[in-house]
Chains A and B, each alone.
Chain A
Amino acid sequence: MKKVTGSSHRLARMRSKNRSGFNSEQASETSFRLMPVSHFRVFIQCMFCIGTLILGFRLTTESSFLKASFQNPEDPFTRISARTDSSASTGTESQFDLQLRREFANGSKGSRLAYNGTIVHSSGGVRVDVGRHAILIRPWPHPDPFEVLHAHHLIKRVQLEQRQLYGSKESKPIIAITTTFVRTFQAVHLTGLLHTLSVIPVPVTWIVMEAGGVTNETAHFLSLAHVHRLLHLGFDIPMPAGLNERSKLEAQMRVEGLRYVQKEKLEGVVVFADESNIHSLEFFTEAQKVDWVGAVSVGLLGFAGFEESPQSGIVHVHDGRVEARENHILFAARQAAAAPRFEPQVQGPSCDSNGNLIGWHIFDPLPLEGEVHKGMRAAQNRRLEWANFVLNARAVWKTEGNQPEWIRSWDEWANPEDGSTPDIKAIVRSDQWVKVLGNCGRKVLLWWLRAEARADSKHPNKWILDESLEIIVPAKSTPWPRRPVRRAAPPPPAPAGGTGTKHGAGSRVSSGKVRRPKRKQDQTNVS
């Protein structure tokens, strides 16, 4: 601009000098000299016009940014690429439109790049930087394992303090008795249980009874548990397929476990931690409150647990005889009137308003399709699960004198003379001595996940498939239509074990007829 004005001054002087004679020539001369000046001016104006068209109306910001950016070119920590806010207005990529990231090394060096031109100063000496700031990102924005470890130590210490301040003062050791056997879903259930037992803050003695003898598969799982004491006992009888037989065998196995407790005179709280149960940690703190015998509510998940509201009502069970359902009509009417909603089935104690035990909610299994019902439900179906009960370990000791007289002695209830299966509820002479835990049974602290594979389903050992599969046989029941496959020779029989389909529709190529499986309650109904 200075150039322009200077030349115009010169022009004016020249014009004033050459006033008289040479008008025509000098007029042409001056007019000639005017041309480059105006061209230049026009050129500058055009450039600015184009510039503003491209960049929007913030050209001054960009120019001040350029100035700022060239001031510190050697800063090792900055890779300056400027993001301007004009791109929002124009929408086109301008030459200055680059990403702004200020990345720096681990130190806290990172003075903010205040390239904003809007620092406002006022009388108070404002240090406020109003305007766009950089988003500071460190070079490797991922968790550092050492920091994670420190943080976990901190969390653990805080939780320890919480337990000391607000937790229950009692810390009796827990004795968990579990029955298991090798099957498809053992991994699913046992892994959950072993992790639950590993994080309980009190010492845990885990007694695992395995049907079919001690196996390596189960031992592999048990080695992952962090419990105070682990006992892996084998029961030589293999687990039968039928549900009733299974429950009988499980009862016998649990009695064996209790016999171990009795023999070793273990102290603490006995909990029947079935592997298909999901326990909340609160269950183990509630269990500490037991005096001799306690009862908890068990919720039921899976298999007909949700389709209809429970129709069990309150059943009063006196010494094995089932009394008539009271208030059944009213109960059913209430259920019908209530809005259809998710009603999980719960099995456990029920109390009156004073908190005294008056009866038991019992799981009443809904009939499956196609199941042949004899029309009569045997009384033993109304048994409560062992998981509903929590015992003081001393209740199974053989020494007399410690136990109150309303606890039956070991020989009476654990070895019944008539050969029937022992029932845990028989350990007390009457219901009134059972202590109800978990806010009088209203709080469900553990859930029974009734999801099992078919009894004859095959699964690879440790759920690991060998790479070299010799023969792969397609699953029999697939949703897509079967195409007839022409083969030269009939397919060879499938090898036993090793390869396998995980989902239970095992290869039945070898057997000619299709065996219709007996519908058992451990069939997968969960979609």
Chain B
Amino acid sequence: MVVGFLLLLLMPSSRSATSISVVDRNVVVGEMGDMLQLRKRRRRRRGHVSLLTCVVGFLFLCQVSRLAAAAVLHRHQRISGSAGDVLEDNPVGRLKVFVYELPSKYNKDWLEKDPRCLTHMFAAEEFVHDFLLTSPVRTHNPKEADWFYTPVYTTCDLMPNGLPLPFKSPRIMRSAISYISTHWPYWNRTEGADHFFVVPHDFGACFHYQEEKAIERGVLPLLKHATLVQTFGQNHHVCLKEGSIVVPPYAPPEKMQSRFIPPNTPRSIFVYFRGLFYDVGNDPEGGYYARGARAAVWENFKDNPLFDISTQHPSTYYEDMQRAIFCLCPLGWAPWSPRLVEGVIFGCIPVIIADDIVLPFADAIPWEKIGVFVAEKDVPNLDKILSSISPEQVLEKQRLLANPAMKQAMLFSQPALPGDAFHQILNGLARKLPHDPHIYLEPGQMVLNWTEGPVGDLKPW
């Protein structure tokens, strides 16, 4: 408070050297005396009474608010330190994004063919496009743009059961890139180093759902320099390029926010999980799916009353999550899952069982403070690990989760709200600015090899 008082007095004095609106030496605090000695000659008396009342009022309010805050139990806790500030950053004014106009065969036609693309968990690519079209960071002048966005929907080729087929995606991407490189000079200027793409599929830009094949393919060679916005994140993995921005999978915000139950409903479930343990269709004996971790959870804890785990998906799924303390988020065929988003929204502490996973917005959100990380080899001791967490830690994690900024950051809300996932993506892009001048190539210099990659990818689309 004293510091505040000092700052308040110093501020006007720093701005105007000649007119310092202090004052009687009797009133001024002793520490200020030395500072004012220097400016004695240029001092002029001002209306000190008004300033004094302001200062006194300010001090009074400080005291009152502090007392009031102490009286109320903390319902949520702001993520302290730089991470918390970063979540609340406003990207507007810090970057400019130019959106390429691609023919509709790259984006709108896919939507018309199958509108399920807007509701499945890969819908982020459509919603980011939508958001950028009307966002204040968009610019129509590509010369002043910092980032270039290509709206190509590579995960919209759906099978009848709703899962996307990634087999055409490399060709679609190549075709889009060749389009922008021929119609605009900006791709060739940097070979894509100031371009970003949204690739929310299972293994990102590796464009395959099977991990072995995805690793074999690697990231599409043309995207070597571009920034990728993807849901997949695993350390030391081919499909996570350095400098990528990891985002949460899309979860429908309205559906989740309409299913809140009153917060005084006691949390009586200790651990909650609904989902497959054995993928009998693709991996009947177990061991491949989820690297055996989900099967280990089932085999070890199927008769444990503290673990409410099952494959039956109830209609009260969201309500049950709000009655649970811990929600398991184990890996599946890919390490990420929408359960993380659901756990954060519903205040259930996520227990992440996926080795080396990179969680969304990891540079902005301190996930170790919020969730519990369990190594896959420690799964048989999960009950011991979870029951030995101290109650204070659990309460603190719940408080951090209750922070509305945290929940907002996980959602792709419609319409976009400040602090939501769209803004976190823009914040991530803004943090990568300014671009390294080395990315600008000499005219005629070619770094990317357009014929690299499997032969099947080179067919035009």
Contacts and interface: CB of A to CB of B under 8 A. Distances in A.
- For B211, B262, B383, which residue has the most chain A Cβ atoms within 10 angstroms? B383
A134 B236 contact: no
B6 to A, nearest CB: 36
A166 B391 contact: no
A135 to B, nearest CB: 4
Interface in B67-118: 73, 75
A138 B381 contact: yes
B313 interface: no
Contacts of A150: 387-388
A153 B177 CA distance: 58
In the complex, the 7 A-B pairs of residues with the closest C-beta atoms, listed nearest first: A166-B264, A150-B387, A138-B380, A157-B391, A132-B287, A133-B292, A151-B387
Contacts of A285: 264
Given A120-B215, A138-B380, A143-B383, A165 B268 contact: no
19 contacts: A88-B285, A106-B381, A108-B377, A108-B381, A110-B377, A124-B236, A128-B356, A135-B287, A135-B299, A147-B306, A147-B383, A150-B388, A151-B270, A151-B383, A153-B391, A157-B391, A158-B267, A158-B394, A161-B398
Interface in A122-164: 122-138, 141-144, 147-148, 150-151, 153-155, 157-159, 161-164
A136 B296 contact: yes
A166 B379 contact: no
B234 interface: yes
B296 A164 contact: no
Contacts of B42: none
B389 interface: yes
B303 A143 contact: yes
Contacts of B379: 136
B215 A126 contact: yes
Given A133-B291, A134-B292, A158-B325, 9 more contacts: A85-B285, A118-B212, A128-B236, A131-B288, A132-B287, A141-B303, A155-B267, A157-B391, A158-B398
Given A118-B212, A141-B299, A166-B262, A158 B391 contact: yes
A112 interface: yes
B362 interface: no
A83 interface: yes
B237 interface: yes
B300 interface: yes
Contact of A130 (B212, B268, B300, B305): B212
Contacts of A153: 391
Contacts of B292: 132-136
Interface of A: 83, 85, 88, 100, 106, 108, 110-112, 118, 120, 122-138, 141-144, 147-148, 150-151, 153-155, 157-159, 161-168, 285
B263 interface: yes
- For A106, A125, A138, which residue has the most chain B Cβ atoms within 10 angstroms? A138
A396 B41 CA distance: 80
A148 B73 contact: no
Contacts of B378: 108
A165 B299 contact: no
Contacts of B295: 135
- For A111, A125, A128, which residue has the most chain B Cβ atoms within 10 angstroms? A128
Nearest to A103: B380
Contact of A126 (B238, B285, B288, B395): B238
Contact of A137 (B218, B299, B306): B299
B286 interface: yes
Contact of A128 (B73, B234, B325): B234
A129 to B, nearest CB: 7
A194 to B, nearest CB: 20
A150 B394 CA distance: 13
Interface in B233-264: 234-238, 262-264
Interface string B197-240: 00000000000000110011010000000000000001111100
B236 A135 contact: no
B384 interface: yes
B218 to A, nearest CB: 7
B238 A162 contact: no
Contacts, number: 141
Nearest to A134: B292
A364 to B, nearest CB: 33
Contacts of A133: 287-288, 291-292
A130 B208 CA distance: 14
Contacts of A100: 287
A289 to B, nearest CB: 14
A118 B211 CA distance: 12
B407 to A, nearest CB: 17
A52 B75 CA distance: 66
B236 A141 contact: no
B284 A88 contact: yes
B73 A164 contact: yes
A128 B264 contact: no
A200 B364 CA distance: 42
Contacts of B299: 135, 137, 141
Given A143-B383, A150-B387, A159 B266 contact: yes
A163 B73 CA distance: 11
B266 to A, nearest CB: 4
Contact of B306 (A88, A124, A148): A148
A132 B212 CA distance: 12
Contacts of B301: 141
A120 B263 contact: no
B285 A159 contact: no
Contacts of A167: 264
Contacts of B284: 88
Contact of A142 (B296, B303, B381, B395): B303
B225 to A, nearest CB: 16
Interface in B285-326: 285-288, 291-292, 295-296, 299-301, 303-306, 325
Contacts of B306: 143, 147-148, 151
B386 interface: yes
Contacts of B234: 128
Contacts of A130: 211-212, 215
Contacts of A124: 236-238
Contacts of B288: 131-133
Nearest to B265: A162
Nearest to B268: A155
Contacts of A88: 284-285
A100 B235 CA distance: 28
Contacts of A129: 291
Nearest to B287: A132
B395 A161 contact: yes
A128 B388 contact: no
Nearest to B240: A124
A65 to B, nearest CB: 14
A196 to B, nearest CB: 14
Given A126-B238, A150-B387, A166-B262, A112 B377 contact: yes
Nearest to B391: A157
B383 A162 contact: no
Nearest to A161: B395
Contact of B300 (A118, A120, A138, A155): A138
Contacts of A148: 305-306, 387
- For A108, A120, A155, which residue has the most chain B Cβ atoms within 10 angstroms? A155
A138 B385 CA distance: 14
Contacts of B287: 83, 100, 132-135
Nearest to A146: B387
A285 B378 CA distance: 42
Contacts of A122: 215, 218, 238
B291 A144 contact: no
A113 B128 CA distance: 43
A164 B292 CA distance: 41
B30 to A, nearest CB: 44
Contacts of B381: 106, 108, 138
Contacts of B262: 166
A163 B304 contact: no
B264 A163 contact: yes
